[in-house]
């Protein structure tokens, strides 16, 4: 038996629709901002819990990698340090004694930014998806009307 049990057999995890896709990407973005190794584990748990698209949740995590850590986490750390009212330090100056508070600042900033971005991404994907569906529906309506007019005129 594996760690996730039968939860990975839920159809919603593998369905490509507006709700599951938006949730999956949002979960992936949120987990990408968790300053920890193996972000995929919480992403899988959250996708199963919230019924988000699992492949999109995993893909969303990929914005976080060793190449993007500095540009991704530095603003988060600075935000957390500002909220906690601690003086940010450069990597060269940090000591093991300071690491605790600075790690808390990093986590706090990452959680705030991760939540804000994931909620924004969720609503953006939902809005774009709905707009496209609405546009296709209008085009089909115009096509039907044009066909009906063509049939009536002949």
Give the pLDDT means over successive 10-residue stretches in the chain (154 positions): 61 80 94 89 90 91 84 89 87 68 88 95 94 93 88 77
Look at residue 17 in the predicted model and tell me its pLDDT. Answer: 84
pLDDT at residue 1 in the model:
41
Q: What is the pLDDT of residue 27?
A: 95
DSSP 8-state symbol, 110 = H
Q: How many CB atoms are closer than 10 A to CB 105?
A: 22
Q: Are 72 and 103 in contact (CB under 8 A)?
A: no
Q: Where are the alpha helices (DSSP H) in the chain?
A: 18-32, 40-50, 54-61, 69-84, 96-153
Domain range summary for the chain, segments of one domain joined by +: 7-125
Cα–Cα distance measured from residue 90 to residue 145, given in angstroms and rounded to the nearest whole number: 65
First to last CA, the chain: 67
Query: What's the pLDDT score for residue 28?
Result: 95
Q: What is the pTM of this model?
A: 0.75
């Amino acid at each position: 038996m594996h760690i996730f049990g039968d939860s990975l057999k839920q159809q919603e995890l593998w369905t490509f629709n507006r709700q599951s896709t938006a949730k999956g990407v949002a979960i992936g973005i949120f987990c990408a901002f968790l300053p920890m190794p193996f972000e995929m584990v919480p992403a899988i748990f959250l996708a199963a819990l919230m019924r988000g698209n699992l492949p999109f949740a995993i893909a969303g995590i990929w914005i976080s990698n060793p190449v993007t850590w500095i540009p991704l986490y530095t603003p988060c750390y600075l935000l957390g340090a500002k909220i906690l009212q601690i003086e940010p330090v450069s990597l060269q100056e940090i000591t093991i004694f300071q690491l605790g508070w600075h790690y808390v600042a990093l986590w706090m900033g990452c959680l705030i930014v991760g939540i804000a971005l994931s909620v924004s991404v969720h609503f953006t994907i939902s809005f774009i998806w709905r707009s496209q569906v609405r546009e296709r529906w209008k085009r089909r309506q115009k096509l039907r009307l044009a066909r009906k007019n063509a049939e009536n005129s002949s």
